Amino acid sequence: MTPNQLKVLDYVRERIEITGVGPSYDEIREALGHKSKSSTSRIVDALVREGKLFRKEGRHRGLSLTSHSLAEVPTADLRAELARRNHGEPK
């Protein structure tokens, strides 16, 4: 998983936790500083293909998580995410 994919996945998780619905592509683009909606779309499409996100077609806020269990996330992805979150913090 690329660093941008991790950021998008993390942002989608946060928005669902806070609002109960997935973010729009424009919200993802703005929050992560992407210059174009197409770059955001490519990242989301890759996450959908990899089975990390599910997209409900025809819905403005149709992104959802495919899994709510950390047990289903590959160990390498979990370690990479923990390293990203702990970067620069005392261990």
Longest Cα–Cα distance in the chain: 45
The pTM (predicted TM-score) of the whole model is 0.69
Residue range 28-64, pLDDT digits in tens? 999 999 888 899 999 999 999 988 888 887 766 778 8
Side-chain half-sphere CA neighbours of 39 within 13 A: 11
What is the pLDDT, as a whole number, of residue 41? 92
User: What band does 16 get if pLDDT is binned at 50, 70 and 90?
Assistant: confident
Question: Which long-range contacts (C-beta less than 8 Å, at least 24 apart) are formed by 33-40?
Answer: 40/8
Structural domains of the chain sorted by starting position, each given as residue range(s) with its CATH number in brackets? 3-66 (1.10.10.10)
